[in-house]
């Protein structure tokens, strides 16, 4: 009993020294901005992949196949080593904020490939007749996509989009290779300096992510039921 309360005490001192919540907050911010970035880019890619122009379709498919099949860590390292150090492409004069922005870009370009495929699976739930009817009343490709096909495709794609968002949330830990001070980096530091409470540290971070991710899953499940298109 004593040893247990002792263990708990040392765990508390570890929590006092290191700000776990602040680190997790960085992951939440990365998730939010990269989620937005990958949604925009992924939507553009999906439009390219369903467009009537063959070269757009080809370029969209090439993008997806390249980025979906490249490990995220490599994309992140590329952003830092090549974009920042070699090419000196600085997005901000603030050293840390520059890395933060590049981490968002790396996460966005990677997850956009998955968002594109999720939206495309949503497009497949929309009967061909919807697009034909849109064309028949005189809408050209982009208005037909914007007004008729995509709104229905998004509703059909909420579940796979939710899965991509959950993967993104967990993948924000890779931002540590871009030296962004986020949770995985902090965990590594804490384990290094406080090996006495290593199990509790693992549990803390695991729980932190579970608490962030579970609402996403619940929300997307609820939304996909609520917004389902009745046919």
Which residues are at the interface with another protein (CB under 8 A)?
A: 127, 129-130, 132-140, 143, 147-148, 151-152, 155, 229-231
Give 62 or 227: the residue with its C-beta nearer to another protein.
227
Nearest-approach distance from CB 43 to another protein, in angstroms: 17
Name the DSSP class of 69: T
Nearest-approach distance from CB 48 to another protein, in angstroms: 17
Give 101 or 161: the residue with its C-beta nearer to another protein.
161
Nearest-approach distance from CB 219 to another protein, in angstroms: 20
Give 135 or 170: the residue with its C-beta nearer to another protein.
135
Sign of CA dihedral 140, 142, 145, 151: negative
Give 36 or 142: the residue with its C-beta nearer to another protein.
142
Nearest-approach distance from CB 119 to another protein, in angstroms: 16
CB atoms within 10 A of CB 48: 20
Give CA torsion, residues 106, 153, 120, 118, to 10 deg.
50
And the tokens for 153?
A: 């495709």
220 vs 231: CA distance, rounded Å: 21
Nearest-approach distance from CB 104 to another protein, in angstroms: 32
102 vs 20: CA distance, rounded Å: 23
Give 103 or 148: the residue with its C-beta nearer to another protein.
148
CA dist 160 to 88, 112, 154, 177, 225, Å? 36, 13, 10, 27, 13
- Angle at the Cα of 83 from the Cα atoms of 81 and 89, rounded to 5 degrees: 130
């Amino acid at each position: 009993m004593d040893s247990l309360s002792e263990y708990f005490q040392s765990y508390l001192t570890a929590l006092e020294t290191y700000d776990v919540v602040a680190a997790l907050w960085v992951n939440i911010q990365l998730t939010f901005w990269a989620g937005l970035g990958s949604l925009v880019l992924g939507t553009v890619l999906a439009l390219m992949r369903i467009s009537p122009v063959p070269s757009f379709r080809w370029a969209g498919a090439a993008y997806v196949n390249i980025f979906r099949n490249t490990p995220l860590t490599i994309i992140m390292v590329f952003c830092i080593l090549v974009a920042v150090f070699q090419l000196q492409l600085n997005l901000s004069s603030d050293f840390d904020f520059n890395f933060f922005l590049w981490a968002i870009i790396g996460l966005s370009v990677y997850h956009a490939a998955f968002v594109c495929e999720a939206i495309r699976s949503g497009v497949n739930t929309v009967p061909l007749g919807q697009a034909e009817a849109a064309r028949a009343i005189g809408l050209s490709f982009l208005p037909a996509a914007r007004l008729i096909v995509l709104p229905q495709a998004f509703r059909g794609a909420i579940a796979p989009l939710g899965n991509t968002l959950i993967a993104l949330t967990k993948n924000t830990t890779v931002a540590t290779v871009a030296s962004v001070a986020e949770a995985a980096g902090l965990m590594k530091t804490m384990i290094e300096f406080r090996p006495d409470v290593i199990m509790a540290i693992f549990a803390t971070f695991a729980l932190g992510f579970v608490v962030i991710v579970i609402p996403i899953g619940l929300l997307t499940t609820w939304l996909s039921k609520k917004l389902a298109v009745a046919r």
